Amino acid sequence: MDILTAKNSFLNYCRIAKTLSPHTVRAYQTDLAHMAAKLGCHIPVSSISRDDLRAYVGGMLQEQGLKATSVKRRMATVKLLFKWLEREETIPLNPFHRLDLSIRLPRRLPRALTVEDIRKLLERARHEAEVGGTHSAQVMHFIVIALIVTGLRVGELAGVDLSDLNEAEGVILVRGKGNRERQVYLPGATAKAALQAYLKTRAMIETESDRLLISSYGTPVTPPRIRRRLSALADRAGLTRHVTPHMLRHTAATQLIEAGVDIRFVQKLLGHASIATTQIYTQVSDTSLRSTLEQADTLGRIGGQRGR
C-alpha cells in the first residue's frame, strides 16, 4: 500500500468507524497531504523508516521554517496513521516504535484579558444589545457572556442545539474533542438573563435550524463569523488587543483559578483530557500574583529599606 492509499483509507476510517468531526478529519487531511507531498505519494508505507521521519521533521523545521507547534501537530497525526496501519497489519513494524524524536515547544503562557478589558467588552456588548435591540446584538451579547463564564471552545458553542439546552437550569450539554460529552453551566442571574433575552429574539425568526445560535436570516452562526464579530466588538469597546474566542476561553480558566476554584473542576469545565493541560493556568495565576505584589511594593510604600 502506498502513502496516498493509506492516507485515504485512514481518513475513511476516521469518518466512518471513529465518527470524528468534519473539522478533525479536515485537519488530519491537511497534515497527511503535507506528509505525502514531502515523502512521496506513491512510495510504500512499509518502506518508511525512522530516518525518513527524522528527515521530514528536520525539513519542516529548518528548510520550511515551520513553527514547532505546527510540526508537533503534524507528527502527532502521522503517528496516528502509522499506529492504525500497524493495528490493521498493513505494516510489520511501526517506524515510530522506539523513535527518539523530541520537538521542543516554546513555553508560552495563555493570553487572557485583564479584568478591565473584560468589563469593557461586556459593557459594550450589553449596551449594543439593550440600545440597538437587534437580534445580531442579542446573540453577540450572549456569545460573549457564554464564552467568558463557560470557557467553551468556539466550535463547541456554535455546535450546541436547542435540545442540548436546559434553559431553566442554565445547563448546556456540549460535545467536545473526540465527541466527549460534558455539561457546562451559566452561573448567575446576568448570564441567564442574557440567554433568555436572546431566546426571545430567536423565537421571532423563521428558521429550520435546531442550532442554538442563529443569524437574523435563520442560518446557523459559524465559528468564523463569531471570530470576526468578536474582533469587531472588541475594537468598538476600545480594546487595543486582537481578541479571539480562544482568548476568552483562557480568560474564563484564569478567572476561575484566581477565584480559588479547584483545578479539577476547571479541568472538567474546559473538557481537558489531562489535568496537565489545565495546570498551565495555575502559572498564569502565579504570574498575576507576582505582578500584583510588585505593584504593591510594600517596602517602597512605607518608606522601607533602601538598596545598600
Q: Which residues are catalytic?
A: 153, 177, 246, 249, 272, 281
Element of type H or E holding 182: strand 181-185
User: Nearest to residue 20, comparing CAs of 222, 175, 210?
Assistant: 175
C-alpha cell at 154: 468556539
Nearest to 38 by CA among 11, 80, 3, 66: 3
Cβ contact 45:120 at 8 Å: no
Q: 117 Cβ partners below 8 Å, 6+ apart? A: 239, 241, 243
**DSSP label at residue 44:** B
DSSP secondary-structure letter at 109?
Answer: P
Q: How many CB atoms neighbour CB 281 within 10 A?
A: 25
Specify the residue for cell string 429574539.
Answer: 201
